[in-house]
Amino acid sequence: MRRILLAGVITSALSTVAAMAMVQPAEAAVSPQIVPASCASAPAGHAHCNAVQLVPSGARPAAPTGFGPSDIQSAYNLGTNPGSGQTVAIVDAYDDPNAESDLRTYRSQWGLSACTTANGCFSKVDQNGGTTYPSGDSGWGAEITLDLDAVSAACPGCHILLVEATTNDDNDLGAAVDEAVRLGAKFVSNSYSDAESDFTTGMDAHYNHPGVMIAAATGDNGTQSGSSAQFPATFPSVVAVGGTSLSQASNSRGWSESVWNKGGSGCSSLFAKPSYQQNVTTNCAKRASADVSADANPNTGLAIYDSYGQSGWEEYGGTSLATPLISAMWAQAGAPASGDSGVSYLYANEAKFNDVTSGSNGSCGTVICNAGTGWDGPTGVGTPNGVSGFASGTTPPPPANDFSVSVSPASGSVNPGSSATSTVGTKVASGSAVTVQLSASGLPSGASASFNPASVTAGSSSTMTIATSASTPAGTYSVTVTGTAGSTTHTAAYSLTVNGTGGGGTVTVSNPGTQLWFVGYQSQPLQIRASDSKNLALTFSATGLPPGLGISASGVISGTPTRAGTYQVTVKATDSGGGSGSTTFGYQVYGF
């Protein structure tokens, strides 16, 4: 009951924010705010949802705002009102008692056929397949609503099975996935995630059901690798779904997409690189995500109808939108072959997707967070252009003899005229060990790289030395270390910072706009962006932050506010040559 009340208080507080915006003078009007659902944070061992709401600055709309079914069907070349009875399972935590009635309102608004328990289109069960539903939670209720409405938008003719886990404990959600498969679902959508640091042995087995497509969200916190990488999306048997920003355009498609800067991607710390990624440059030694993507930006989000702790029509995004969209589209293509998870189909059919080539979700400087031609971390192979890309294809086999390349440490700094060293490691990825020639590119003028030894047998390492001259310009440079064996190449990234000696550059700090949050709730990480005219390394600091919040040297504001109030925050960025710049913005913290 406490969870329901807190979620209700959050909704009430957000309504108050909207009302306040209506009575302010025009010059003080508050812009629409991006607000994560209350289920977007969770304790260790528990998954969080990835639903994000666009809260309007004025009165909440009585009619839908955001994309509707016809927009989704047009953007992804799905035809009109597709689907012919395929069952898409939605797995979420806790109960939404209004799920079916809200779905009825949504589908009626857009002229879609009814999907009810009575006509066999909709069914809802607990994680044991019964009707002893868990306790209600309006935060997870918003997630459930988003999932149901997204499936309806992309596949109006699909049937929907909602499986409600008892709690958001990782084990409960895994049991709910098993139950969805036991009940016959061939397409299972999971719009939640947790950090790999919380993974326990055997958890991935819940998400490995050959002949069933299981999709999961990559998260809403940008690129996250290592122990912060988000599972179940990092499981090799799961389709990892990233996020884009979708907008109408005057091109032949009628739509354009770029990376949503909060969509997830990353390198797993636990799971080996699967065979379907062996021929893909991911800059990850292990499993990389995402595999595929769809609309996720709440600014270009989906209109949904939610009456459980909400006031009706809302606009939502997050990779919690992209994941059920992909699941519903995949259902139109058919289930994976027996003994197959289907993830490899995406890589075999890469040319059948819309390639997203612009935008980034982090500052890693590599393909894992920057869009480009072909596969990239934020969007995978791209976004659907029809559903033929989800059908079985022929995945090229990995090379008979293959290897991987890594660099440790992956960054270093030097004064002009000095040198930096790093260890370049190689491993046998498949077959037998081969001889790997090493080289480096992307060096600044006056700098050179040498390797000792210059070639190694896969499984061995070499010392890389980057030497600079007195004239090497200050700045931070992305150096690509390349290993070559015959026609096969693999790369690893190294970041080189050359310290300034002639004073700092002009530093410009971007203003993120007014921020809103609540006492006692962990805030979404806020990355402050800045640029330097000399491309020098930047260090961030801040004054005036609400108690409980802090800023990292890389400019990420995070924490849990402990005191309500209106705060003026000044963030300063200082480069390695002493140059600095700052910006000031408001931060409103609401109490209960």
By C-alpha distance, which of 253, 282, 288 is closest to 269?
A: 288
Assess if residue 4 is contained within a domain.
no
Q: At what angle do helices 138-154 and 99-109 cross, to 10 degrees?
A: 40
pLDDT range class, residue 580, cuts 50, 70, 90: confident
Q: Residues of the chain with pLDDT > 70: what percent?
A: 92
From 460, 480, 498, give the residue that closes a domain: 498
Distance CA 563, CA 582 (A): 25
Instruction: Pick the more confident residue, 181 or 478.
Output: 181
Q: For residues 420 and 555, state if they share a domain.
A: no
pLDDT of residue 394 exceeding 80, the answer is no
Kindly tell me if the per-residue pLDDT of 19 is higher than 60.
no
**131 Rama sector, left if φ>0, alpha if ψ -120 to 50, beta otherwise:** alpha
Q: Are 224 and 240 in contact (CB under 8 A)?
A: no
The total domain count for the chain is 3
Q: 21 or 430: whose pLDDT is higher?
A: 430
Supply the range of the domain harboring residue 456: 402-498
Co-location of 490 and 518 in the same domain: no
Overall pTM surpassing 0.75 (yes/no):
no
Question: Do 549 and 567 contact (CB within 8 A), yes or no?
Answer: no
> What sign results for the dihedral spanned by CA atoms 318, 321, 327, 329?
negative
Regarding whether 129 and 202 lie in a shared domain, the answer is yes
Give 287-349 as a 3 state SS string.
EEECCEEEECCHHHCEEEEECCCCCEEEEEECHHHHHHHHHHHHHHHCCCCCCCCCHHHHHHC
CATH number of the domain enclosing 384: 3.40.50.200
In 375-510, DSSP assigns E strands to 383-384, 402-408, 411-414, 419-430, 435-441, 448-452, 455-457, 461-467, 475-485, 488-498, 507-509
Residues 250-307: pLDDT tens digits? Answer: 999 999 999 999 999 999 999 999 999 998 999 999 999 999 999 999 999 999 999 9
Neighbours of 553 (CB within 10 A): 10
CATH of the domain at 581: 2.60.40.10
Among 465, 498, 531, the domain-final residue is: 498
Residue 395 lies in a domain: no
Last residue of a domain, one of 390, 412, 442: 390
- Categorize the per-residue pLDDT at 18 as very low, low, confident or very high, splitting at 50, 70 and 90: very low
Q: Report the percent of the chain where pLDDT is more than 90.
A: 69
Taking residue 126's Cβ as centre, other Cβ atoms within 10 Å add up to 17
The structure tokens listed for 16 are 């108050």
Q: Which residue has the higher pLDDT, 531 or 4?
A: 531
Q: Does some domain include residue 2?
A: no
**Residue 471: its pLDDT value, please?**
85
- 237/316 same-domain check: yes
Residues in the chain: 592
410: pLDDT confidence band, cut at 50, 70 and 90?
A: confident
> HSE on the CB side for 85, CA within 13 Å?
2
Residues 462, 520: one domain? no
Q: Stretch 216-233: mean pLDDT, rounded?
A: 96
Question: Do 186 and 215 belong to one domain?
Answer: yes
Q: Are residues 481 and 417 in the same domain?
A: yes
* pLDDT interval class at 474 (50, 70, 90): confident
Terminal Cα-to-Cα distance of the chain (whole angstroms): 16
Same structural domain, 334 and 416: no
Same domain, 219 and 363: yes
Dist. CA 73–CA 254, nearest whole Å: 12
Say whether both 286 and 429 belong to one domain. Answer: no
Q: 397 in a domain, yes or no?
A: no
Answer whether residue 398 shows pLDDT above 70. Answer: no
Residue 455 lies in a domain: yes
Is there a domain that residue 1 lies in? no
Starting at the edge strand found earlier in the chain, the sheet holding 448-452 runs: 402-408, 419-430, 461-467, 448-452
> Is 286 inside a domain boundary?
yes
Residue 353 lies in a domain: no
Query: How confident is the model over 426-449, as pLDDT tens digits?
Result: 987 766 788 999 999 999 999 999
Domain identity same for 99 and 49:
yes
> What mean pLDDT comes out for the span 160-188?
96
User: Is pLDDT at 424 greater than 70 in this prediction?
Assistant: yes
155 and 72 Cβ atoms separated by less than 8 Å:
no
CA dist 393 and 333 (Å) reads 12
Mean pLDDT of 397-419: 80
**Nearest 5°: phi and psi at 104?**
-60, -45
Domain check: are 136 and 278 in the same one? yes
Cα-flanking dihedrals φ and ψ of residue 210, to 5°? Answer: -55, 140
